[in-house]
Chains A and B, each alone.
Chain A
Protein backbone atom coordinates (compact mmCIF):
# COMPACT_ATOMS: atom_id res chain seq x y z
CA UNK A 1 0.00 0.00 0.00
CA UNK A 2 1.35 3.38 -0.96
CA UNK A 3 -0.08 6.20 1.06
CA UNK A 4 1.39 9.61 0.76
CA UNK A 5 0.14 12.56 2.69
CA UNK A 6 0.61 15.71 0.70
CA UNK A 7 -1.03 18.00 3.16
CA UNK A 8 -1.78 17.59 6.83
CA UNK A 9 -5.43 16.86 7.35
CA UNK A 10 -6.85 18.52 10.42
CA UNK A 11 -8.92 15.95 12.35
CA UNK A 12 -10.19 18.26 15.04
CA UNK A 13 -13.73 19.28 14.25
CA UNK A 14 -14.80 20.25 17.71
CA UNK A 15 -13.19 23.02 19.75
CA UNK A 16 -13.63 21.15 23.02
CA UNK A 17 -11.10 18.56 21.91
CA UNK A 18 -8.50 21.10 22.89
CA UNK A 19 -9.59 20.35 26.43
CA UNK A 20 -7.47 17.78 28.15
CA UNK A 21 -9.29 14.46 28.18
CA UNK A 22 -9.01 11.08 29.85
CA UNK A 23 -9.00 7.91 27.78
CA UNK A 24 -10.17 5.11 30.06
CA UNK A 25 -9.48 2.20 27.74
CA UNK A 26 -6.15 1.92 25.93
CA UNK A 27 -4.69 -1.42 24.93
CA UNK A 28 -0.90 -1.75 25.03
CA UNK A 29 0.85 -4.77 23.54
CA UNK A 30 4.46 -5.94 23.74
CA UNK A 31 6.48 -5.70 20.52
CA UNK A 32 8.04 -8.97 21.53
CA UNK A 33 6.96 -11.21 24.41
CA UNK A 34 10.49 -12.61 24.65
CA UNK A 35 12.12 -9.22 24.98
CA UNK A 36 9.52 -7.41 27.06
CA UNK A 37 7.60 -9.93 29.18
CA UNK A 38 10.11 -12.76 29.70
CA UNK A 39 12.43 -10.64 31.85
CA UNK A 40 9.60 -10.62 34.41
CA UNK A 41 8.85 -14.34 34.23
CA UNK A 42 10.69 -17.06 36.10
CA UNK A 43 12.66 -19.48 33.92
CA UNK A 44 10.10 -22.17 34.62
CA UNK A 45 7.31 -20.10 33.09
CA UNK A 46 9.37 -18.92 30.14
CA UNK A 47 9.99 -22.55 29.27
CA UNK A 48 6.34 -23.34 29.82
CA UNK A 49 5.27 -20.59 27.46
CA UNK A 50 7.76 -21.74 24.83
CA UNK A 51 6.40 -25.27 24.97
CA UNK A 52 2.68 -24.80 25.58
CA UNK A 53 1.83 -21.15 25.09
CA UNK A 54 -1.16 -19.39 26.56
CA UNK A 55 -4.00 -21.90 26.65
CA UNK A 56 -7.40 -20.43 27.36
CA UNK A 57 -10.84 -22.05 27.45
CA UNK A 58 -11.20 -21.45 23.75
CA UNK A 59 -10.39 -23.52 20.68
CA UNK A 60 -7.31 -22.05 18.98
CA UNK A 61 -3.73 -21.47 20.02
CA UNK A 62 -3.74 -18.00 18.61
CA UNK A 63 -6.69 -16.12 17.24
CA UNK A 64 -10.35 -16.40 18.10
CA UNK A 65 -12.90 -18.90 16.80
CA UNK A 66 -14.85 -15.85 15.66
CA UNK A 67 -12.34 -14.24 13.29
CA UNK A 68 -12.50 -10.50 13.66
CA UNK A 69 -13.60 -7.84 11.21
CA UNK A 70 -10.07 -6.48 10.71
CA UNK A 71 -6.71 -8.14 11.39
CA UNK A 72 -5.63 -7.81 15.00
CA UNK A 73 -8.94 -5.98 15.47
CA UNK A 74 -6.82 -2.86 14.96
CA UNK A 75 -6.95 0.35 13.04
CA UNK A 76 -4.82 0.19 9.94
CA UNK A 77 -3.25 3.52 10.73
CA UNK A 78 -2.17 2.41 14.20
CA UNK A 79 0.64 0.12 13.05
CA UNK A 80 3.92 1.51 14.32
CA UNK A 81 6.15 3.00 11.62
CA UNK A 82 9.31 0.96 11.46
CA UNK A 83 7.52 -2.17 12.59
CA UNK A 84 5.50 -3.09 15.60
CA UNK A 85 1.97 -4.15 16.31
CA UNK A 86 -0.56 -1.45 17.02
CA UNK A 87 -0.19 -0.14 20.56
CA UNK A 88 3.28 -1.59 21.05
CA UNK A 89 5.36 1.56 21.17
CA UNK A 90 4.99 4.10 23.94
CA UNK A 91 6.52 6.92 21.92
CA UNK A 92 4.29 6.34 18.91
CA UNK A 93 1.26 6.05 21.16
CA UNK A 94 2.35 9.32 22.71
CA UNK A 95 2.38 11.22 19.43
CA UNK A 96 -0.20 9.33 17.35
CA UNK A 97 -2.78 9.26 20.11
CA UNK A 98 -2.01 11.07 23.39
CA UNK A 99 -0.64 14.28 21.84
CA UNK A 100 -3.12 14.23 18.98
CA UNK A 101 -6.13 14.10 21.27
CA UNK A 102 -4.71 15.92 24.29
CA UNK A 103 -5.02 12.88 26.54
CA UNK A 104 -4.05 13.88 30.07
CA UNK A 105 -4.85 10.49 31.59
CA UNK A 106 -4.61 7.27 29.62
CA UNK A 107 -5.69 4.09 31.41
CA UNK A 108 -3.95 0.96 30.17
CA UNK A 109 -5.95 -2.26 29.96
CA UNK A 110 -3.69 -5.05 28.71
CA UNK A 111 -5.73 -7.80 27.13
CA UNK A 112 -3.36 -10.72 26.51
CA UNK A 113 -2.27 -10.82 30.12
CA UNK A 114 -2.67 -14.45 31.11
CA UNK A 115 -6.08 -13.87 32.69
CA UNK A 116 -8.34 -16.91 32.47
CA UNK A 117 -5.62 -19.35 31.45
CA UNK A 118 -6.52 -22.95 32.12
CA UNK A 119 -3.29 -23.20 34.12
CA UNK A 120 -3.98 -21.00 37.09
CA UNK A 121 -0.40 -20.89 38.38
CA UNK A 122 0.81 -19.77 34.98
CA UNK A 123 -1.95 -17.15 34.93
CA UNK A 124 -0.72 -15.69 38.19
CA UNK A 125 2.87 -15.57 37.00
CA UNK A 126 1.97 -14.04 33.66
CA UNK A 127 -0.31 -11.40 35.19
CA UNK A 128 2.44 -10.40 37.57
CA UNK A 129 4.87 -10.09 34.67
CA UNK A 130 2.45 -8.00 32.63
CA UNK A 131 1.92 -5.73 35.61
CA UNK A 132 5.71 -5.26 35.95
CA UNK A 133 5.92 -4.62 32.20
CA UNK A 134 3.26 -1.92 32.41
CA UNK A 135 5.55 -0.02 34.77
CA UNK A 136 8.81 -0.52 32.91
CA UNK A 137 7.55 0.05 29.37
CA UNK A 138 4.63 2.39 29.81
CA UNK A 139 3.86 4.24 33.01
CA UNK A 140 7.49 5.07 33.76
CA UNK A 141 7.92 6.30 30.17
CA UNK A 142 4.95 8.61 29.92
CA UNK A 143 3.43 10.23 32.99
CA UNK A 144 0.05 10.45 31.32
CA UNK A 145 -0.33 6.68 31.36
CA UNK A 146 -1.59 4.67 34.31
CA UNK A 147 -1.77 0.89 34.53
CA UNK A 148 -4.36 -1.65 35.64
CA UNK A 149 -3.40 -4.50 37.94
CA UNK A 150 -4.20 -7.65 35.98
CA UNK A 151 -5.55 -10.30 38.34
CA UNK A 152 -5.49 -14.10 37.87
CA UNK A 153 -9.07 -13.94 39.03
CA UNK A 154 -9.97 -17.63 38.80
CA UNK A 155 -7.80 -18.04 41.89
CA UNK A 156 -8.90 -15.58 44.54
CA UNK A 157 -5.95 -16.14 46.88
CA UNK A 158 -3.39 -15.50 44.14
CA UNK A 159 -5.36 -12.43 43.09
CA UNK A 160 -5.32 -11.07 46.62
CA UNK A 161 -1.53 -11.51 46.65
CA UNK A 162 -1.24 -9.43 43.49
CA UNK A 163 -3.56 -6.74 44.84
CA UNK A 164 -1.55 -6.47 48.03
CA UNK A 165 1.67 -6.37 46.04
CA UNK A 166 0.48 -3.32 44.05
CA UNK A 167 -1.73 -1.51 46.57
CA UNK A 168 -0.69 2.11 46.89
CA UNK A 169 1.55 2.00 43.83
CA UNK A 170 0.86 5.21 41.89
CA UNK A 171 1.66 3.46 38.59
CA UNK A 172 -1.75 1.81 38.81
CA UNK A 173 -5.22 3.30 39.12
CA UNK A 174 -7.30 0.14 39.28
CA UNK A 175 -7.44 -3.63 39.19
CA UNK A 176 -8.52 -5.47 36.06
CA UNK A 177 -10.72 -8.46 35.25
CA UNK A 178 -12.61 -9.74 32.23
CA UNK A 179 -16.40 -10.06 32.19
CA UNK A 180 -16.79 -13.71 31.15
CA UNK A 181 -15.54 -15.47 34.25
CA UNK A 182 -16.02 -19.18 34.90
CA UNK A 183 -18.83 -18.40 37.31
CA UNK A 184 -20.81 -15.19 37.66
CA UNK A 185 -18.58 -12.58 39.26
CA UNK A 186 -20.80 -12.00 42.27
CA UNK A 187 -20.32 -15.52 43.56
CA UNK A 188 -18.42 -16.21 46.71
CA UNK A 189 -15.30 -17.73 45.18
CA UNK A 190 -14.43 -14.18 44.07
CA UNK A 191 -15.33 -12.43 47.34
CA UNK A 192 -11.77 -12.34 48.75
CA UNK A 193 -10.84 -10.26 45.69
CA UNK A 194 -13.49 -7.67 46.44
CA UNK A 195 -12.58 -7.58 50.12
CA UNK A 196 -8.94 -6.90 49.19
CA UNK A 197 -9.86 -4.25 46.63
CA UNK A 198 -12.08 -2.43 49.09
CA UNK A 199 -9.34 -2.57 51.73
CA UNK A 200 -6.84 -1.17 49.22
CA UNK A 201 -9.32 1.45 48.00
CA UNK A 202 -8.67 0.23 44.48
CA UNK A 203 -11.42 0.42 41.83
CA UNK A 204 -12.07 -2.62 39.67
CA UNK A 205 -12.35 -2.43 35.89
CA UNK A 206 -14.18 -5.30 34.24
CA UNK A 207 -13.57 -5.42 30.52
CA UNK A 208 -15.45 -7.16 27.73
CA UNK A 209 -14.29 -10.65 26.76
CA UNK A 210 -12.92 -13.38 28.90
CA UNK A 211 -13.18 -17.10 28.23
CA UNK A 212 -14.84 -18.56 31.27
CA UNK A 213 -16.09 -21.50 29.21
CA UNK A 214 -19.79 -20.62 29.26
CA UNK A 215 -21.35 -20.02 25.85
CA UNK A 216 -21.65 -16.32 25.12
CA UNK A 217 -25.42 -16.61 25.04
CA UNK A 218 -27.63 -18.55 27.44
CA UNK A 219 -28.95 -20.44 24.43
CA UNK A 220 -25.55 -21.60 23.24
CA UNK A 221 -22.80 -20.32 20.98
CA UNK A 222 -23.84 -17.98 18.17
CA UNK A 223 -22.60 -18.23 14.59
CA UNK A 224 -21.17 -14.84 13.75
CA UNK A 225 -18.48 -12.45 14.87
CA UNK A 226 -21.03 -9.63 14.95
CA UNK A 227 -23.08 -11.64 17.44
CA UNK A 228 -20.03 -12.26 19.57
CA UNK A 229 -19.30 -8.51 19.67
CA UNK A 230 -22.86 -7.45 20.43
CA UNK A 231 -23.17 -10.14 23.13
CA UNK A 232 -20.64 -8.40 25.38
CA UNK A 233 -23.52 -6.15 26.42
CA UNK A 234 -25.58 -9.13 27.58
CA UNK A 235 -22.60 -10.60 29.41
CA UNK A 236 -22.02 -7.26 31.12
CA UNK A 237 -25.66 -7.13 32.22
CA UNK A 238 -25.42 -10.58 33.77
CA UNK A 239 -22.17 -9.65 35.47
CA UNK A 240 -23.66 -6.50 37.02
CA UNK A 241 -26.75 -8.45 38.05
CA UNK A 242 -24.60 -11.01 39.80
CA UNK A 243 -22.60 -8.43 41.74
CA UNK A 244 -25.81 -6.81 42.94
CA UNK A 245 -27.88 -9.91 43.64
CA UNK A 246 -25.09 -11.71 45.51
CA UNK A 247 -24.77 -8.74 47.83
CA UNK A 248 -21.18 -7.89 46.90
CA UNK A 249 -21.80 -4.19 47.46
CA UNK A 250 -23.24 -4.84 50.91
CA UNK A 251 -20.17 -6.87 51.72
CA UNK A 252 -17.71 -4.38 50.23
CA UNK A 253 -19.39 -0.97 50.39
CA UNK A 254 -16.22 0.77 49.27
CA UNK A 255 -15.94 -1.18 46.02
CA UNK A 256 -16.17 0.73 42.75
CA UNK A 257 -16.63 -1.12 39.48
CA UNK A 258 -16.05 0.18 35.96
CA UNK A 259 -17.63 -1.73 33.10
CA UNK A 260 -15.31 -1.33 30.13
CA UNK A 261 -15.98 -1.69 26.41
CA UNK A 262 -19.44 -3.19 26.73
CA UNK A 263 -21.57 -0.18 25.84
CA UNK A 264 -23.80 1.57 28.35
CA UNK A 265 -27.36 2.11 27.10
CA UNK A 266 -28.42 -1.27 28.49
CA UNK A 267 -27.92 -0.15 32.08
CA UNK A 268 -31.17 1.72 32.83
CA UNK A 269 -33.49 -1.07 31.61
CA UNK A 270 -31.42 -3.56 33.61
CA UNK A 271 -31.74 -1.45 36.75
CA UNK A 272 -35.52 -1.09 36.33
CA UNK A 273 -35.89 -4.83 35.78
CA UNK A 274 -33.76 -5.79 38.77
CA UNK A 275 -35.69 -3.43 41.05
CA UNK A 276 -38.99 -4.99 40.13
CA UNK A 277 -37.80 -8.56 40.51
CA UNK A 278 -35.99 -7.78 43.77
CA UNK A 279 -39.18 -6.30 45.23
CA UNK A 280 -41.05 -9.52 44.59
CA UNK A 281 -38.27 -11.81 45.79
CA UNK A 282 -37.11 -10.15 49.01
CA UNK A 283 -37.52 -13.50 50.79
CA UNK A 284 -34.82 -15.01 48.63
CA UNK A 285 -32.48 -12.04 48.90
CA UNK A 286 -32.18 -10.91 52.51
CA UNK A 287 -28.58 -9.90 51.83
CA UNK A 288 -29.68 -7.37 49.20
CA UNK A 289 -30.89 -4.69 51.54
CA UNK A 290 -31.52 -1.87 49.09
CA UNK A 291 -33.07 -1.64 45.64
CA UNK A 292 -30.61 -2.84 42.97
CA UNK A 293 -30.79 0.50 41.17
CA UNK A 294 -29.31 2.16 44.24
CA UNK A 295 -26.33 -0.19 44.30
CA UNK A 296 -25.87 0.39 40.60
CA UNK A 297 -25.99 4.14 41.05
CA UNK A 298 -23.45 4.04 43.87
CA UNK A 299 -21.03 1.46 42.57
CA UNK A 300 -21.08 1.16 38.78
CA UNK A 301 -19.30 3.35 36.25
CA UNK A 302 -19.12 2.69 32.51
CA UNK A 303 -16.72 3.62 29.75
CA UNK A 304 -18.41 4.95 26.68
CA UNK A 305 -16.78 2.98 23.90
CA UNK A 306 -18.31 1.53 21.74
CA UNK A 307 -20.49 4.60 21.72
CA UNK A 308 -24.22 4.15 21.36
CA UNK A 309 -25.77 5.34 18.09
CA UNK A 310 -29.53 5.82 18.07
CA UNK A 311 -30.80 7.79 15.12
CA UNK A 312 -31.89 10.60 17.38
CA UNK A 313 -29.44 12.26 19.70
CA UNK A 314 -32.31 13.13 22.07
CA UNK A 315 -32.81 9.42 22.75
CA UNK A 316 -29.18 9.08 23.65
CA UNK A 317 -29.50 12.09 25.94
CA UNK A 318 -32.43 10.45 27.75
CA UNK A 319 -30.32 7.36 28.30
CA UNK A 320 -27.30 9.24 29.57
CA UNK A 321 -29.49 11.18 31.99
CA UNK A 322 -31.03 7.98 33.28
CA UNK A 323 -27.57 6.55 33.90
CA UNK A 324 -26.21 9.78 35.34
CA UNK A 325 -23.66 11.81 33.39
CA UNK A 326 -21.28 11.50 36.29
CA UNK A 327 -21.08 7.73 35.84
CA UNK A 328 -19.78 7.86 32.29
CA UNK A 329 -16.07 7.79 31.41
CA UNK A 330 -14.84 8.63 27.94
CA UNK A 331 -12.71 5.99 26.23
CA UNK A 332 -11.36 5.32 22.72
CA UNK A 333 -10.28 1.64 22.75
CA UNK A 334 -7.07 2.72 20.97
CA UNK A 335 -5.60 1.06 18.91
CA UNK A 336 -8.54 -1.18 18.05
CA UNK A 337 -10.87 -0.64 15.11
CA UNK A 338 -14.12 0.63 16.54
CA UNK A 339 -12.18 3.68 17.73
CA UNK A 340 -14.18 6.61 19.12
CA UNK A 341 -12.59 9.92 18.18
CA UNK A 342 -13.16 12.49 20.95
CA UNK A 343 -13.35 15.27 18.40
CA UNK A 344 -16.08 13.56 16.44
CA UNK A 345 -18.18 11.85 19.06
CA UNK A 346 -21.92 12.46 18.49
CA UNK A 347 -22.39 13.64 22.06
CA UNK A 348 -25.71 15.19 23.08
CA UNK A 349 -25.54 18.86 23.99
CA UNK A 350 -24.91 19.47 27.66
CA UNK A 351 -23.48 22.33 29.65
CA UNK A 352 -19.74 22.93 29.70
CA UNK A 353 -19.12 21.49 33.17
CA UNK A 354 -20.93 18.24 32.37
CA UNK A 355 -19.06 17.95 29.10
CA UNK A 356 -15.70 18.52 30.75
CA UNK A 357 -16.49 15.96 33.41
CA UNK A 358 -17.55 13.47 30.78
CA UNK A 359 -14.24 13.83 29.00
CA UNK A 360 -11.98 14.12 32.05
CA UNK A 361 -13.39 15.08 35.44
CA UNK A 362 -15.32 11.87 36.12
CA UNK A 363 -12.17 9.80 35.59
CA UNK A 364 -10.04 12.05 37.76
CA UNK A 365 -12.62 11.80 40.52
CA UNK A 366 -13.02 8.04 40.27
CA UNK A 367 -9.27 7.39 40.27
CA UNK A 368 -8.52 10.00 42.93
CA UNK A 369 -6.32 12.06 40.64
CA UNK A 370 -7.80 15.52 41.01
Chain B
Protein backbone atom coordinates (compact mmCIF):
# COMPACT_ATOMS: atom_id res chain seq x y z
CA UNK B 1 0.00 0.00 0.00
CA UNK B 2 1.24 3.40 -0.89
CA UNK B 3 0.19 6.70 0.53
CA UNK B 4 -0.98 9.04 -2.22
CA UNK B 5 -1.14 12.76 -1.70
CA UNK B 6 -3.96 13.95 -3.91
CA UNK B 7 -4.46 17.57 -2.94
CA UNK B 8 -3.77 20.23 -0.39
CA UNK B 9 -6.52 20.33 2.21
CA UNK B 10 -6.93 24.04 1.62
CA UNK B 11 -7.88 23.34 -1.98
CA UNK B 12 -11.16 21.75 -0.90
CA UNK B 13 -12.96 24.00 1.56
CA UNK B 14 -16.07 22.72 3.38
CA UNK B 15 -18.96 22.25 0.99
CA UNK B 16 -16.69 22.24 -2.04
CA UNK B 17 -15.35 19.51 -4.26
CA UNK B 18 -12.32 18.84 -6.45
CA UNK B 19 -11.64 16.43 -9.28
CA UNK B 20 -8.24 14.70 -8.98
CA UNK B 21 -6.40 11.70 -10.29
CA UNK B 22 -5.64 8.89 -7.90
CA UNK B 23 -3.28 6.32 -9.39
CA UNK B 24 -4.84 6.81 -12.80
CA UNK B 25 -8.47 6.87 -11.69
CA UNK B 26 -10.52 10.06 -11.75
CA UNK B 27 -11.81 10.77 -8.27
CA UNK B 28 -14.10 13.48 -6.93
CA UNK B 29 -13.14 14.74 -3.47
CA UNK B 30 -15.89 16.25 -1.34
CA UNK B 31 -15.48 18.15 1.93
CA UNK B 32 -18.37 17.49 4.30
CA UNK B 33 -17.92 19.63 7.41
CA UNK B 34 -14.16 19.22 7.40
CA UNK B 35 -14.13 15.52 6.55
CA UNK B 36 -12.94 14.43 3.13
CA UNK B 37 -14.68 11.78 1.05
CA UNK B 38 -13.87 10.49 -2.38
CA UNK B 39 -15.96 8.88 -5.10
CA UNK B 40 -14.73 7.42 -8.36
CA UNK B 41 -15.71 10.13 -10.76
CA UNK B 42 -17.62 7.88 -13.11
CA UNK B 43 -21.28 7.17 -12.58
CA UNK B 44 -21.81 3.40 -12.79
CA UNK B 45 -24.76 4.07 -15.11
CA UNK B 46 -23.13 5.67 -18.15
CA UNK B 47 -19.92 7.22 -16.86
CA UNK B 48 -21.07 10.75 -16.07
CA UNK B 49 -18.79 12.90 -13.90
CA UNK B 50 -20.20 12.96 -10.38
CA UNK B 51 -17.96 15.90 -9.56
CA UNK B 52 -20.11 18.00 -11.88
CA UNK B 53 -23.32 17.08 -10.08
CA UNK B 54 -25.51 19.02 -7.68
CA UNK B 55 -25.49 18.31 -3.98
CA UNK B 56 -28.74 17.67 -2.20
CA UNK B 57 -29.87 16.28 1.11
CA UNK B 58 -31.24 12.86 1.80
CA UNK B 59 -34.95 12.64 1.04
CA UNK B 60 -36.64 9.66 2.65
CA UNK B 61 -40.26 8.84 3.25
CA UNK B 62 -42.48 6.76 5.46
CA UNK B 63 -45.32 6.96 3.00
CA UNK B 64 -46.89 9.02 0.24
CA UNK B 65 -46.95 12.73 1.00
CA UNK B 66 -44.58 12.36 3.95
CA UNK B 67 -41.04 13.63 3.45
CA UNK B 68 -38.12 13.12 5.84
CA UNK B 69 -35.16 15.35 5.03
CA UNK B 70 -31.69 15.03 6.54
CA UNK B 71 -28.00 15.27 5.77
CA UNK B 72 -28.14 18.37 3.61
CA UNK B 73 -25.42 18.44 0.97
CA UNK B 74 -24.32 14.85 1.47
CA UNK B 75 -25.94 13.33 -1.63
CA UNK B 76 -24.58 14.05 -5.09
CA UNK B 77 -26.78 13.67 -8.19
CA UNK B 78 -25.10 12.62 -11.39
CA UNK B 79 -25.53 15.47 -13.89
CA UNK B 80 -26.59 13.13 -16.68
CA UNK B 81 -29.53 11.12 -15.36
CA UNK B 82 -29.85 12.31 -11.78
CA UNK B 83 -28.82 9.13 -9.95
CA UNK B 84 -28.25 9.95 -6.27
CA UNK B 85 -25.07 8.78 -4.53
CA UNK B 86 -24.27 9.00 -0.84
CA UNK B 87 -20.97 10.86 -0.72
CA UNK B 88 -19.92 9.03 2.45
CA UNK B 89 -20.37 5.52 1.01
CA UNK B 90 -20.60 5.79 -2.79
CA UNK B 91 -23.87 3.83 -2.71
CA UNK B 92 -26.80 4.83 -4.88
CA UNK B 93 -30.00 5.77 -3.11
CA UNK B 94 -32.36 3.77 -5.32
CA UNK B 95 -30.52 0.45 -4.96
CA UNK B 96 -27.60 0.72 -2.55
CA UNK B 97 -26.58 -2.92 -2.70
CA UNK B 98 -26.51 -3.29 -6.48
CA UNK B 99 -25.53 0.13 -7.79
CA UNK B 100 -22.65 2.09 -6.33
CA UNK B 101 -19.46 3.84 -7.22
CA UNK B 102 -16.14 3.19 -5.54
CA UNK B 103 -15.64 5.17 -2.34
CA UNK B 104 -12.24 6.29 -1.13
CA UNK B 105 -11.31 6.85 2.50
CA UNK B 106 -9.29 10.01 2.75
CA UNK B 107 -7.21 11.19 5.66
CA UNK B 108 -5.58 14.47 6.39
CA UNK B 109 -1.86 14.40 6.97
CA UNK B 110 0.39 17.19 8.06
CA UNK B 111 3.15 18.07 5.66
CA UNK B 112 5.77 17.79 8.34
CA UNK B 113 4.77 14.18 9.00
CA UNK B 114 4.53 13.31 5.33
CA UNK B 115 8.06 14.34 4.54
CA UNK B 116 9.25 11.72 7.02
CA UNK B 117 7.43 8.95 5.09
CA UNK B 118 7.30 7.54 1.61
CA UNK B 119 4.46 8.87 -0.53
CA UNK B 120 3.35 9.44 -4.09
CA UNK B 121 2.33 12.90 -5.13
CA UNK B 122 1.95 13.11 -8.86
CA UNK B 123 0.76 16.65 -9.05
CA UNK B 124 1.02 18.08 -5.55
CA UNK B 125 3.99 19.77 -4.01
CA UNK B 126 4.23 18.89 -0.34
CA UNK B 127 5.47 21.47 2.07
CA UNK B 128 5.93 20.97 5.80
CA UNK B 129 3.66 23.86 6.84
CA UNK B 130 0.44 22.69 5.17
CA UNK B 131 -2.06 19.83 5.44
CA UNK B 132 -2.80 17.35 2.71
CA UNK B 133 -5.49 14.95 1.65
CA UNK B 134 -4.06 11.47 1.47
CA UNK B 135 -5.27 7.99 0.68
CA UNK B 136 -3.68 4.58 1.02
CA UNK B 137 -3.95 2.44 -2.07
Contacts and interface: CB of A to CB of B under 8 A. Distances in A.
B82 interface: yes
Contacts of B82: 69-70, 337-338
Contacts of A5: 19
A9 B19 CA distance: 10
Interface string B38-50: 0001100011110
Contacts of A77: 49, 52, 79
A287 interface: no
B60 interface: no
Give the most central of B11, B13, B42, B49: most A CB within 10 Å.
B49
A2 B16 contact: yes
B16 A1 contact: yes
Interface string B10-34: 0111001111110000100000000
Interface in A17-72: 69-70
A229 B11 CA distance: 39
Nearest to A77: B52
A200 interface: no
Contacts of A76: 52-54, 79
A2 B79 contact: no
Contacts of B21: 6-7, 9
A172 B11 CA distance: 48
Band of interface residues on B: 20 to 34
A70 B80 CA distance: 10
B123 interface: yes
Nearest to B21: A7
Given A77-B52, A337-B79, A1 B17 contact: yes
A49 B24 CA distance: 52
A75 B80 CA distance: 6
Contacts of A4: 11, 18-19
Interface string A226-252: 000000000000000000000000000
B81 interface: yes
B101 to A, nearest CB: 14
Contacts of B16: 1-2
A6 B77 CA distance: 22
B135 to A, nearest CB: 14
Interface of B: 7, 11-13, 16-21, 26, 41-42, 46-49, 51-54, 77, 79-82, 123
A3 B51 CA distance: 7
Contacts of A9: 19, 21, 26, 41-42, 49
Interface string A308-344: 0000000000000000000000000000011111011
Contacts of A339: 48, 80-81
Which 5 pairs show the lowest CB-CB distances between chains A and B?
Answer: A7-B21, A9-B26, A344-B46, A76-B79, A77-B52
Interface in A157-210: none
B16 to A, nearest CB: 5
A251 to B, nearest CB: 40
Given A6-B123, A9-B21, A343-B47, 10 more contacts: A2-B13, A2-B18, A6-B19, A9-B49, A75-B80, A76-B79, A338-B80, A339-B80, A341-B46, A346-B46
A343 B13 CA distance: 34
A369 interface: no
Contacts of A70: 54, 77, 79, 82
Nearest to B7: A6
Contacts of A345: 46
Contact of A344 (B12, B18, B47): B47
B11 A338 contact: no
A162 to B, nearest CB: 34
A2 B13 CA distance: 9
Contacts of A11: 47
Contacts of B26: 7, 9
B1 to A, nearest CB: 22
Give the most central of A6, A338, A343: most B CB within 10 Å.
A6
Contacts of B79: 70, 75-77, 337
